[in-house]
Amino acid sequence: MITSSKRTPLTFLVHATVLFLVIIWTIPTAGLFISSIRDKNQLSTSGWWTALSTSEQRHVARAHEPKAQVQEGDRFVIRGNLFEGSAGEITKFGSSSLRPDEFDVGTVAELKKGETLQVLENGDYAFSSPVPWKGSRGDRIFYTAEVPPRFTLENYREVLNSEGLGKSFINSLTVTIPATIIPILVAAFAAYALAWMRFPGRALLVAAVVGLLVVPLQMSLIPLLKTYNLIGDFFGVGSKTYVGIWLAHTGFGLPLAIYLLRNYIVGLPREIIESARVDGASDFDIFRKIVLPLSFPALASFAIFQFLWVWNDLLIAMVFLGNDADHIVLTGQLRELLGSRGGNWEILTASAFITIIIPLCVFFGLQRYLVRGLLAGSVK
């Protein structure tokens, strides 16, 4: 007997929602990647969705120096090419910034003192004068060109070859790995105690943990730094050390970690815990042999969130570590590459993809163990 199952409207709604979420995450990511491999001049003039079309750009170039002039008849001519090896097609040109597209391509433009300028479509130009050219610099040429799409890895080379990037990468790992492990270790014990151990004030502690979730990070950052500096002065520990940022990330990550793990652990079957206690197992044995293996999916999930948060953090790293070359993290180093005005979009897009390599490896690696932990927990 064959039975056919009909899909309910809720199923279609769930599928449509998942598809929508995939689209709104995929499109910006694809745009970021396309922008990271585009020429920086094209990136500054048009959006990534026009990457495969010809773009119109306005540029200014300087002609060759007067010593490059040659005499042709009774005139002195300076010749050259505006593109200098790159591709494009000139549409307009001019000799003044006030009128950069005054002349059509191929026109012999009459300038001052009998001088002329002609620019061809392929970028060849000719400055002509009835008297010899003087000075040490060539005149400027303003032109409008239609440039074909150009893709390059130069943006990635500039980021990877920047001084101090390797050191900042190691610094980020030094900060992120302990700042991910320490909160998980502390939160796992605390979550078990709040879920299965009976003691006075347990409900108040759970309420306090929930309340700490709504405390803004920026509001508690400076008081925390002052407290750490006072304690550090008492014990002779410097303020700009890795210990400080480990403790800061641990403190900011513990409320969420305890909340998530406690909600997961409290949902484990009560019969398993009670049977272990009847058999004489201590709380530490129950936690280590029963609760911890069954809670691996929740531990892996929080590890992903904590790692991503710490790896992408810039504010706490700047406060507790500073900008010196020995402690600056990867996000801080990439921020320095953007310049004082932050207008180097080609650096920003390339560095974004460089920074997500490690988080992607962590995510896919823990995802495999996450699925395995879910299946092991269901079997147990």
Query: Which domain CATH number covers 361?
Result: 1.10.3720.10
The answer to whether residues 238 and 345 belong to one domain is: yes
User: Within a domain: residue 3?
Assistant: no
d(C-alpha 324, C-alpha 110), whole Å = 56
Q: Is 4 inside a domain boundary?
A: no
Question: What pLDDT does residue 85 have?
Answer: 64
135 lies in some domain: yes
Residues 212 and 335 in one domain: yes
pLDDT attached to residue 179: 94
Number of structural domains (the chain) is 3
Task: Say whether both 321 and 183 belong to one domain.
Answer: yes
Q: Do residues 71 and 30 share a domain?
A: no
Collect all residues with Cβ–Cβ distance below 8 Å to 27 and sequence separation of at least 6.
none
DSSP 240: S
Query: Domain for residue 1, yes or no?
Result: no
* Tens digit of each residue's pLDDT (9 = 90 or more) over 324-361: 878 889 888 888 776 654 567 788 888 888 888 888 88
Cα 176 to Cα 200: distance, rounded to the nearest angstrom: 35
Say whether both 28 and 143 belong to one domain.
no
How far is Cα 269 from Cα 6, in angstroms, rounded to an integer? Answer: 34
pLDDT attached to residue 163:
67
pLDDT for position 273: 87
Burial 343-356 (b: 16+ CB within 10 A, else e): ebbbbbbbbbbbbb
Question: What distance in Å separates the CA atoms of residue 82 and residue 142, rounded to the nearest whole number?
Answer: 10
Q: Which two tokens stand for residue 57?
A: 């750009």
**Does 25 fall in a domain?**
yes
Residue 379 pLDDT: 42
Q: Which residues form the domain of 223?
A: 157-376
213 shares a domain with 309? yes
Q: Is residue 111 part of a domain?
A: yes
**The dihedral of CA 262, 268, 274, 277: what is its sign?**
negative
| Residues of the chain under the 50 pLDDT cut | 1-4, 341, 373-380
The answer to whether residue 112 is domain-embedded is: yes
Report, in this order, helix, strand and coil percent for the chain, each rounded to 5.
60, 15, 30
Given 117, 148, 179, the domain boundary residue is 148
Is residue 167 located within the same domain as residue 139?
no
Alpha carbons within 13 angstroms on the beta-carbon side of residue 253 total 29
In a domain, 182, yes or no: yes
Same domain, 315 and 190: yes
Same domain, residue pair 330 and 196: yes
Task: Give yes or no: residues 35 and 65 share one domain.
Answer: no
Q: How far apart are CA 303 and CA 163, in angstroms?
A: 31
Structure token pair of residue 248: 């800061």
For residue 371, what pLDDT is reported? 59
Helix 345-355 and helix 330-337: axis angle, to 10°?
160
Among 148, 171, 193, identify where a domain stops: 148
| Same domain assignment for residues 205 and 308 | yes
